[in-house]
Amino acid sequence: MTHPLIAVVGSINMDVAVRVAALPGPGETVSGSDAVLSLGGKGANQAIAALRLGGDVGLIGCVGDDAFGAAARHMLASEGLDLDGVRTIAGAATGVALITIGSNGQNMITVSPGANAALSVEAVMSQISLLSHAKVLLLQNETPPQAAHAAIQRVRAGGGLVLCDPAPAAGYDPALIAAADIITPNETEAGILTGIAVTDRVSAFAAARWLVQRGARNAVVKLGAQGVVHAGAAGEGVVPAPSVTALDMVAAGDCFNGALAVALGEGIGLGDALVFACRAAAIAVTRPGASASMPHRHALD
């Protein structure tokens, strides 16, 4: 097995998670479990997922010069992740995600971006060697779009693939749709991007085709327990999700994207790569936490 070089440009957060019997409604206060502090952020989650599954991963992102930033750096380093691309921003707070998790694994998340908003083109270009040699670039929407575009240019010049996770979808740069070799919204994000209410596989295919018509080479719409549908240059298809009992769905999509990047980097075709990614995400939802839930390769093999 080769170890593909994967570049991740994205967010680094600390997550504060509380479990409740039922998610609160507007204006409602509910009691929950003790708060759990852990590493999160879509960039960090996807980087750790790819690393644990066999990728050679470089992460480009920012933390603040506070206690959360120090904790995030320590947790990333403990995974064996290269931190050359992780900058500490003086005077900035580290990004924080406040997560409430219901008994069925569904969640509500509020994010304060903090230092993630300071990720600059200059910071991205300082990692030109990583980007020029990357087989796959992983992007999300929790850092400035100009940083994403700078990374895309370098990875494209080196012949790498661009994998875009348009999450959160609000305010997503339309130019990033056309820049994607593969774009991977979930049903909610697909609805925001396309204006199509995604409720089943039929509507998911309609959304995927809409994204392809706007320039994405391939579009994958994630449907949770229903698996995924895909359309584009690699053809159209459905990949069912393994049947599991979900404990915590936080970062399941991040696990999916990290796994997909590894499989694609190893030269696996999109259809089989999606099977691999669905299996990885199915394991992740049976475990608590964000980055902590990411499986190692032996769990899939």
Active site residues: 254
Residues 78, 71: Cα–Cα separation, whole Å? 11
Computed over its alpha carbons, how large is the radius of gyration of the chain? 18
The closest alpha carbon to 32, from 130, 125, 102, belongs to 102
Strand order in the sheet with 56-64: 86-89, 56-64, 5-9, 136-139, 161-164, 182-183, 218-222, 228-232, 237-239
Please give the structure tokens belonging to residue 267: 């030269």
Best CA proximity match to 178, nearest among 197, 193, 158: 193
Per residue, the 3-state secondary structure of 188-199, as one string, reads HHHHHHHCCCCC
Residue 159 to residue 132: CA distance in whole angstroms: 8
- Given a contact cutoff of 8 angstroms between Cβ atoms, the answer to whether 229 and 19 are in contact is no
